[in-house]
Amino acid sequence: MILLILDYGSGNIKSVYNSIKQVLKDNNLNYKIIVSNNINNIKKSDYIILPGVGSFGNCMENLSNKPGLLDNLEEFVFIKKKPFLGICVGMQLIAEYGLENGKTNGLGWIEGRVKHLDIQGNLSKEKLKIPHMGWNNLKVNYKNKLFDKVNEQDQFYFLHSYFFEAKNIRNILASSYYGMSFPSVVCKENIIGVQFHPEKSGNSGQKVLINWLNNY
């Protein structure tokens, strides 16, 4: 099995790589990890992780600038229907569009938009700081194998100023709270997005990663 971490100039690649490597070792899984944006590597991959750090617009621009990359990602997701995981901004890019520094079209794989956390002023009233940086739990909305052995006491690391406002509540597997409730895990068939950083979430994050590998 080949797991590809997409290197497009906008991801926390090293942390994701090290975390996945540890998960595979701990669970005796002999997967090959590739860090690449090469089209041929995408074609032969069994899993793809899209990390993301920075602004929605810059990340989307970097994805779009590689000839053939988006077409091959869509073939991987929609034709081959193989497992895809977006992390942080990588999750947000799955949306139809983002509203950071103007409107920018996203991948459009799950209906919804990306908005600023403070859009309704709730955070200012509660004197919370932006970005949301730190540890939060997940409120599971729909049972899913992604949450096997995950409970409400498990803490996950977040670092973000924007959130994915999914149009269909059935796509929101779990939510978290920071002055307001926001989707922390979205899903549509073989597409998973997590707002938190599983690679920085210790044992809790590793549980989610192994569940993804085992069940998707």
187 is a catalytic site residue: no
Distances (CA, A) of 115 to 71, 96, 185: 26, 12, 16
- Please, are residues 95 and 87 in contact by the beta-carbon 8 Å criterion? no
199 is a catalytic site residue: yes
Residue 160 is encoded by which pair of tokens? 């973000």
Kindly provide the b/e burial profile for residues 130-168, where b requires at least 16 CB atoms within 10 angstroms of the residue's own CB: eebeeebbbebbeebebbeebeeebbbbbebebbbbbee
Choice among 100, 132, 160, 199 that is catalytic? 199
Choice among 59, 132, 160, 197 that is catalytic? 197
Those residues with Cβ within 8 angstroms of residue 67's Cβ, 6 or more apart along the chain or in another chain: none
116 is a catalytic site residue: no
Residue 85 is encoded by which pair of tokens? 């995981």
Choice among 88, 132, 160, 187 that is catalytic? 88
- Please, are residues 146 and 192 in contact by the beta-carbon 8 Å criterion? yes
Helix or strand holding residue 24 (H, E): helix 13-26
Residues annotated as catalytic are 88, 197, 199
